[in-house]
Amino acid sequence: MINMYSDIIEIAKRRGIFWPSFSIYGGFSGFYDYGPLGTLLKDNIIKIWKESYLNDDAVFVDTPNLTPEPVFKASGHIARFSDMAAECKNCKSKFKFETILVYNNVNKMPKNIDEAVELAKEFKLKCPVCDSLIDNVYNFNLMFKTENNDLYLRPETAQGIFVNFKLLYNYNRNKLPLIGGQIGKGFRNEIAPRQSLIRLKEFNQCEIEAFFDPDNLYFKDLYEYKKINLKPNDGNEYYITVKEAAERDIISNKAFAYFVLKTQYILENIGMNNERLRFRQHSPDERAHYAADSWDAEALIDNDWFEIVGIANRTDFDLKTHDENSNESMKIKIDNREIIPYVIEPSYGIDRIILALLSQSYYERNNKFKVLKLNYNIAPYHIAVFPLMRKDELKAQALKLYNAMKKVDKYIYYDETGSIGKRYARQDEIGTPYCITVDYRTMEDNTVTVRYRDTMEQRRMEIDEILSENGFKNL
């Protein structure tokens, strides 16, 4: 990665968006804290996501982070949820095997551990740290297991929805499709956590499990929306709408296409640049063990593409395995047919979305001042209120306006420290769309200066107009 990524990390740490966890003890790889601004930003993104799925009548659950071993035996995670890893016997560094392949300019990807061992021998793969030969290649399970109990920290929130399917189905008045969702933490024992929020050991997920009659994979009609880059696994690339992709069978079925389209809409609604998004289909040997088809929404950060949302057709894999291994039948009756529903899963990685959004929102003005061009409904603070100077009468009027505005919108910030130019620059850097300044003219005619972040234009507005029912919308 190049400068933009570094600049975003610097702003994030300095302004309180996110920073390494446990920093007073030197920090620990794979863990990050959200600061005051990052917490608000994260919550605003999750709110947009949740309200969008509420429009589809989604129902939500909140299940434990710890999960008993039988659940993950049934789901296949204990047997299959692993990465191929390599350890250098000389310097003891550990790597994902694909990292070793990239370092050694090897374009082959092994399907299993035996093929990985053969590749290491064939190409005399070297350690990226000390250049010693790599000869210890192994499977590394990515789940955290508790020491004294057969409990695991969940690597995804999905199984909490699957094991509750019958309860949710009853709650939904025995109707399909059924959209179940969960917001929560996932935990993965990553071999080599890296790049701040890209690869974490503890991360934020927003997952949807959409349950369908396998004979009726339809949810809602697809609508016309902006064109997007699509990269199916046949080697072709398209710049078309998702609706057109479904009509041309580039995307396998209309229900799956609907959630691709919805993902595109949500990501753009929070402020992602459509030109720096794409949907890429997994090759068959890349898919997770439960998936018959998978597409990733990927965001461009500098010159690299990163997965931020995974959309998988899990068919009846999970419900069928829980049906076979638990005391609960996952079968339901529809029109005298006994079925196990199929599942389409859009899984949103909130941390990666935040990093991509910050990267795509960031720019520098000609004067080298830094700006985050965040949408109003996503920005940690919508408006900042300033007194022009720290004079008693100006402060009193500014605080009066600030307190009145807080009754309408809680995401209002007050600042009286430093010159007015520095205060503007601080708010631009954290993405605040509007700044309102109380000055001496305010004392005469009850007007204030409203400054817009993206153009730096300023105009006078009456305080009564700002505080009116639709006043904030008129800024």
- The 10s digit of each residue's pLDDT in 287-338 is 988 999 999 999 999 889 999 999 999 999 999 999 999 999 999 999 999 9
Of 299, 454, 317, 467, nearest to 379 by C-alpha is 454
Whether residue 30 is found in the same domain as residue 105: no
What is d(CA 453, CA 455) in angstroms, rounded to the nearest whole number?
A: 6
Of 240, 264, 260, 241, nearest to 252 by C-alpha is 260
Whether residue 154 is found in the same domain as residue 136: no
Whether residue 257 is found in the same domain as residue 173: yes
CB 52 within 8 A of CB 262: yes
Strands 59-61 and 178-187: parallel
In a domain, 246, yes or no: yes
DSSP 3-state of 17: coil
- The 10s digit of each residue's pLDDT in 122-131 is 999 999 999 9
- The 10s digit of each residue's pLDDT in 290-304 is 999 999 999 999 889
Phi then psi for 77, rounded to 5 degrees?
-70, -35
User: How many domains, the chain?
Assistant: 3
Domain limit, last residue, from 115, 141, 167 = 141
In a domain, 7, yes or no: yes
Q: What residues does 66 pair with on adjacent strands?
A: 153
In a domain, 73, yes or no: no
Q: Name, in order, each residue with C-beta under 8 angstroms of 181's C-beta and a sequence gap of 6 or more.
A: 50, 53, 58, 59, 60, 61, 161, 206, 207, 208, 209
- The 10s digit of each residue's pLDDT in 148-196 is 789 999 999 999 999 999 999 999 999 999 999 999 999 999 887 878 9
In a domain, 375, yes or no: no
In a domain, 130, yes or no: yes
Could you write out the DSSP letters of every residue in 192-237? S-BTTTTB-SEEEEEEEEEEE-TT----S-------EEEE-TTS--
CB 308 within 8 A of CB 277: no
Whether residue 97 is found in the same domain as residue 221: no
Of 322, 406, 444, nearest to 67 by C-alpha is 322
List the helix and strand counts (H, then E) for the chain: 16, 26
Q: Is the pLDDT of residue 63 over 60?
A: yes
In a domain, 35, yes or no: yes
Whether residue 202 is found in the same domain as residue 284: yes
In a domain, 405, yes or no: yes
In a domain, 369, yes or no: no
Whether residue 426 is found in the same domain as residue 323: no
Domain limit, last residue, from 294, 327, 359 = 359
Domain limit, last residue, from 327, 359, 391 = 359
What is the number of other CB atoms lying within 10 angstroms of the CB of residue 121? 12
Whether residue 211 is found in the same domain as residue 314: yes
Average pLDDT of the segment spanning 216-232: 96
Query: Which pTM value belongs to this model?
Result: 0.93
Residue with tokens 């006994």: 338
Cα-Cα end-to-end distance for the chain: 37
Whether residue 407 is found in the same domain as residue 267: no
Whether residue 105 is found in the same domain as residue 241: no
Q: What pLDDT is attached to residue 3?
A: 66
Whether residue 211 is found in the same domain as residue 287: yes
Structure tokens at 34: 């959200």
CATH number at residue 350: 3.30.930.10
Q: Name, in order, each residue with C-beta under 8 angstroms of 297's C-beta and a sequence gap of 6 or more.
A: 260, 263, 264, 267, 277, 278, 279, 307, 308, 309, 310, 311
Please tell me which residue, 282 or 141, carries the higher pLDDT value.
Answer: 282
Whether residue 269 is found in the same domain as residue 157: yes
Whether residue 422 is found in the same domain as residue 350: no
Structure tokens at 253: 């079925």
Give me the chain's average pLDDT, please. Answer: 94
* Residues of the domain holding 469: 383-474
Q: Give the number of C-alpha atoms closer than 13 A to the C-alpha of residue 148, restricted to the C-beta side.
A: 0
CB 168 within 8 A of CB 59: yes
